[in-house]
Amino acid sequence: MSLYPLKFTPLYKYRIWGGEKLKTVLHKNYQEDHIGESWEISDVKGDQTVVGEGILEGKTLKSLIEEYKEDVVGKTVYNAFGTDFPLLIKFIDAKTPLSIQVHPSNEIAKERHNSFGKNEMWYVMEAEKDAELIVGFNQQVDKASYIQALKSGNILNVLNNDIVSKGDTYYIPTGRIHAIGAGVMLAEIQQTSDITYRIYDYERVDAATGKTRELHTEQAVDVIDYSVSDSYKTKYTKPDNDTNTLVNSPYFKTNIVNVKGEMTKDYSALDSFVIYICVEGELDLLWNDVSYKIVKGETVFLPAAIDAVTLKSSNADVLEVYY
């Protein structure tokens, strides 16, 4: 079988709010300024990542699924999505705040854009002192009071701000208002979708265009979840050499695995691909008598046909993602 643990070549995205940490902290290889996103594994049309090494070098994920079908993604995923890959994996570096935004549900995204919706999660990898995320509301609002806050310039007053630190995790279902604040670098796991409704952008001008960015006020009003929660942050524990749940959604599952020493992961009963995202430290992945080194800021795709791998590290944290 030609399949093996795959590293894809990232795609780097200019963003008005992008910084330098993807280069200086995660050692990504690019020369441009204001790179805010590294798309690690993508099947977005026009932005497909390709295999970076080995006999499959240069192939897109879609072409691999066309050739190897369920051996790449698993029977359940192949039956549900065909040759479309359901997830998009990114690293994000916010030097200045992202716009305040919301994503539509699967149903609305299909109807309006012929796209998947965008349920997503964040895992904070680095956070400067007092860096914040905006997630949800801090008080009960309805459509009318939300529109009033937006028109009067008081929208920030009704949004929930959390000061964050390394390891903080948030699940962002469709409809939940959110924004990444200045000084945060994180890993993002999301459905394959690039549909974002921007509701507030600090009236800033994009140097690349000389214009303010488009807002999607009317589209957003109908998709926002106006409910309020006591806490939006995910609670979890992280014992050594164990698999600990972060997100268990219909769209993806994400666990965190702390590797100290050596551990074997058996996927023979799992009908899915597995993606490893190294968020701290470095480790060796052993499969079929070959060792693959994974360092902080690297992502590895395990085709569904791989039944087991061994992980070795003195101390590493890995996000484990599957369908």
Which pairing describes strands 274-280 and 299-302: parallel, antiparallel, or unpaired?
Answer: antiparallel
> Is 34 assigned a ligand-binding role in the annotation?
no
Residues 6+ apart with CB under 8 A from 235: none
d(CA 239, CA 303): 27
Q: 191: which 2 tokens?
A: 């459905």
> Is 120 assigned a ligand-binding role in the annotation?
yes
Catalytic residue, chosen from 112, 176, 198, 204, is 198
3-state helix, strand, coil in the chain (%, to 5): 15, 45, 40
Closest CA to 267 of 80, 5, 2: 5
d(CA 98, CA 166): 19
Count of CB atoms situated within 10 Å of the CB of 52:
13
**160 membership: H or E segment, kind and range:** strand 159-163
- CA distances (Å), 7 to each of 64, 131, 220, 292, 293, in order? 13, 31, 36, 10, 11
> Is 216 assigned a ligand-binding role in the annotation?
no
Which pairing describes strands 43-44 and 47-48: parallel, antiparallel, or unpaired?
Answer: antiparallel
Can you point out the beta strands (E) in 207-281? 211-212, 243-248, 253-266, 274-280
Residue with tokens 């995320």: 133
Q: 252: which 2 tokens?
A: 């993806």
Q: 112: which 2 tokens?
A: 């309006």
Query: Known catalytic residue: 198?
Result: yes
Closest CA to 296 of 17, 12, 40: 40
Residues 6+ apart with CB under 8 A from 250: none
Q: 3-class SS at 219?
A: helix
Binding residues for Zn(2+): 103, 120, 178
Residues identified as active-site: 198
Binding residues: 103, 120, 178
